[in-house]
Amino acid sequence: MTAASLVIALALTAAAPASRPRLPPIPNNAQCRALPGLPGRRLPLRTGERLDYTVDFLGGIEAGTVTLTTLAPRRHGDDMILPVSAHAVSSKLFSRFGRFDSRAVSWLRPRDLHPSRYREDFVADDGKYWTELVFPPPRGPHVVRARWGNPKTGGQKAFPYASDALDVVGAFYLLRSLDLRPGQRLCFDAYGGRTFWRVWGQVDGRETVVTPAGRFATLRLSGTAARLNAPSVRRAVHFWISDDPRRLPVAAMGELDFGPMRAVLSGIGEAPREEKRRARDGWME
């Protein structure tokens, strides 16, 4: 499992379910229209915000924890960037089947919250894995360049995309910043699990969700994710975002071949100084 294990990536990175017959076609490039622009109001992102999630299989088997952190904007060359980080760790019980400790950071352009770069580092029982992506500028070619390495080998790859290319960490921050309304349809391409996925769906409506972090009025988003290089590999995705000025990612659920998996908001707080330093020194220099 990679850093894409965090909230939005629950439905994108685990083992794929078996192919099903008569699958409807995925939206083509022309049908996967550009996401709406950011609203003119203040974005619901706060420097130092820390969001903690518990990840489990429905039925109560805890798989691990995920922490999302918003870091301070900073200058990178001639541009400003907004770094957001994620840290996923397996539980003691789940580690019996396979240990993971995964960190990732997405460097977002503040003007549109699209990534300019993405990096993930993943430690498993057999060693270290890493992936780094470079995204083109807004008017650049629709191709994402990737480099990767693992204990045995490494390589490079190019991923074409339609209108919007996101990564699994930054996509979550972009979605929570949009003006969403029931019935609205969305489509984008996102990197997760060493490949690109086309994700499409809609805002279903409003629901009340209770978590260890509190009771929230939310907007529910439901959709489908399909691998662009293997369209028959698909899974359903569901997200709940608080319907208030904070726009908190409250919960997510995805279907795996061995059952539904979910992430639930368990805590809201301030990132420790050590976490901010590690993110800055480890990934951003």
Whether residue 202 lies inside any domain: the answer is: no
Q: Report the Cα 47 to chain-centroid distance in Å.
A: 19
From residue 26, alpha-carbon distances to 31, 230, 254 in Å are: 9, 11, 18
Kind of pairing between the strands at 165-167 and 185-192: parallel
What does the CA dihedral 155, 159, 165, 170 come to, rounded to 10 degrees? -20
Q: Which amino acid, 111?
A: R
Whether residue 74 lies inside any domain: the answer is: yes
Give the span between the Cα atoms of 129 and 120, in whole angstroms.
8
Give the span between the Cα atoms of 31 and 228, in whole angstroms.
14
Give the span between the Cα atoms of 23 and 8, in whole angstroms.
23
Whether residue 189 lies inside any domain: the answer is: no
Helices (H) and strands (E) in the chain, counts: 2, 16
- Tens of pLDDT, residue by residue over 105-145, are 999 999 999 999 999 998 877 889 999 999 999 888 999 99
Whether residue 31 lies inside any domain: the answer is: no
**Residue 237, both tokens:** 């995705």
- Tens of pLDDT, residue by residue over 211-254, are 999 999 999 999 999 999 999 888 899 999 999 999 999 999 88
Q: What's the predicted TM-score (pTM) here?
A: 0.85
Close Cβ partners of 161 (under 8 Å, ≥ 6 residues apart) = 142, 143, 144, 189, 196
pLDDT at 140: 86
pLDDT at 82: 93
What are the 10-residue block averages of pLDDT along the chain, 285 residues in total? Answer: 40 40 83 93 88 82 87 84 90 58 92 95 86 93 95 94 95 94 96 92 96 96 94 91 95 74 91 58 39
Whether residue 227 lies inside any domain: the answer is: no
Whether residue 98 lies inside any domain: the answer is: yes
User: To 5 degrees, how large is the angle CA 108–CA 122–CA 106?
Assistant: 0
Percent of all residues in the chain with a pLDDT value above 90, rounded to a whole number = 59
Whether residue 28 lies inside any domain: the answer is: no
Domain of 92 in residue numbering reads as 3-12+42-179+256-283
Give the span between the Cα atoms of 173 and 92, in whole angstroms.
29
Give the span between the Cα atoms of 169 and 7, in whole angstroms.
8
pLDDT at 192: 87
Close Cβ partners of 97 (under 8 Å, ≥ 6 residues apart) = none
Q: What are phi and psi of 132, to 5 degrees?
A: -135, 130
DSSP calls for 124-140: ETTEEEEEEEEPPPTTS
Number of structural domains (the chain) is 1
Nearest to 176 by CA among 247, 78, 261, 265: 247
> Strand, helix or coil at 94?
helix
Whether residue 130 lies inside any domain: the answer is: yes
pLDDT at 211: 95
